[in-house]
Amino acid sequence: MNEEFVSIIRARLPFLTDEEPLLPDANLTDLGLDSLRTVSLLLDLEDALAISLPDSVVGDPETFSTPQRLWQAVDEVRANS
């Protein structure tokens, strides 16, 4: 996970304080990622990283379960671009 990615995610997690690290296996739902924030996060990531996550990835609830899972999806799309 790179700094830009972490910064984008942190902006959408209301229950994660500035002092807390974003752990790769953190449960994003527990940190406040709801459906509306998920859509905003998706748009933010696609814009900032110049990618488009396919519907199969976006539609998989596991994609947005942890930062590591989301990073794997993003990284795979970037590698195949």
Q: Please give the pLDDT value at position 49.
A: 94
CA–CA separation, 27 and 31 (whole Å): 7
Contacts for 67 with CB less than 8 Å, ≥ 6 apart: 1, 5, 6, 9, 22, 23, 24, 25, 26, 28
Q: What is residue 7's predicted lDDT score, i.e. its pLDDT?
A: 96
Structure tokens at 58: 């976006």
pLDDT of residue 81: 78
Domains of the chain: 3-14+27-79 (1.10.1200.10)
pLDDT, averaged per 10 consecutive residues of the chain (81 residues), comes to 96 96 97 97 96 94 97 94 78
